[in-house]
A = this chain, B = another copy of it.
Amino acid sequence: MKVGFIGLGNMGQAISGRILDAGYDLVVYNRTRSKAEELEKKGAKVADSIAEACKGRDVVFTMLSDDKALNQVVDGGLLETLARGAIHVPMGTHSVTALSELKQRHDAAGHRFVPAPVLGRPDAAAAGQLGIVPAGPKETVDELEPLFAACGRRTFYAGTNPAGAAAVKLANNMVLGCAIEALAESFALTRKFDVDPQVFKEVLTDGLFASPSYKVYANIIANEAYDKVGFSVHLGFKDSNLIMAAGQAAQVPLPSLNVFRDSLLEAFAHGEGDLDWSVMGRVRARAGGLK
């Protein structure tokens, strides 16, 4: 399989590096060419245009920051250059609507379309430890499995509806946002009764909530270490808008989302947009009159 890869941010570099290591013929493209240098040294061809990265490729991955960037790439050469029967695999976090619309355009052009957002951070990507959530025709997903196996630890098939892949990714992030908000409220509550936050953190993460998400975020909130930014309020809010749009498209009220989205908005209003999104902990403490 000949592979193209467009979008070489941290995630894109890590994933395309894995594909290259697995022995695939790889052409990469990035608007800022310098991001491609390391891959070039390792043997990737570097395209000078989107079209060049798509021409003659069996599969083209895109890893782009948002819908706008995705549509610019699609309109900037991908849609028109990709061969009939070739597969476009957008790996970024996109809106359900963008994926549904893009599906129709690819159908009209005779392309195959398998959105496959990923679960995990760049370091997990580099280590091949991502979760990958493809959606699309089962046989196409199966065809891509060796590539997914090169990139990630496990593939979760999200069904034939391409929007399903985005929904899984967004719903996963929503559960995380809700968990952080719940932590934020519960730490504010226990602090008011003079409970040592470190003790409350132990209670939670020792038992029912002994998972990475709670360990990481209970630790940040217990220590009020919001300036070590793993995922900023800006990014969290961007995701929360995508989740809200998914709820709208699906006609499903998501009241818990509203709650943490409002906490993020309140963080912006207090100049905390660049902090880690777990600064919800501070928002809730402030509402309770703490500090």
Contact = CB atoms under 8 A, between A and B. Distances in A.
A23 interface: no
Contacts of A96: 193
Interface string A183-194: 101111110111
B185 A255 contact: yes
Contacts of A24: none
Interface in A131-176: 131, 133, 154, 156-161, 163-164, 166-168, 170-172, 174-176
Interface stretch (A54-62, A106-114, A204-212): A204-212
Interface stretch (A1-9, A28-36, A268-276): A268-276
Nearest to A255: B259
A284 interface: yes
Interface stretch (A14-22, A71-79, A245-253): A245-253
A288 to B, nearest CB: 4
A247 B189 contact: yes
Interface string A201-221: 011101111111110000000
A contact face: mostly helix, strand, loop, or mixed: helix
A154 to B, nearest CB: 7
User: How many copies of the polypeptide does the oligomer hold?
Assistant: 4
Given A119-B207, A199-B157, A255-B259, A178 B176 contact: no
Contacts of A131: 203, 206-207
Contacts of A263: 253
B168 A200 contact: yes
A164 B252 contact: no
Contact of A270 (B158, B269, B289): B289
Contacts of A69: none
B156 A202 contact: yes
A186 B65 CA distance: 23
Interface in A78-98: 96
Contacts of A247: 189, 265
Which 5 residue pairs are nearest across A and B when measured between Cβ atoms? A269-B289, A211-B211, A178-B182, A252-B288, A192-B250
Interface of A: 96, 119-120, 131, 133, 154, 156-161, 163-164, 166-168, 170-172, 174-176, 178-179, 181-183, 185-190, 192-196, 199-200, 202-204, 206-214, 241, 243, 246-248, 250-260, 262-263, 265-266, 268-271, 284, 287-289
9 contacts: A159-B195, A164-B190, A170-B189, A171-B200, A172-B186, A178-B178, A189-B246, A192-B251, A251-B288
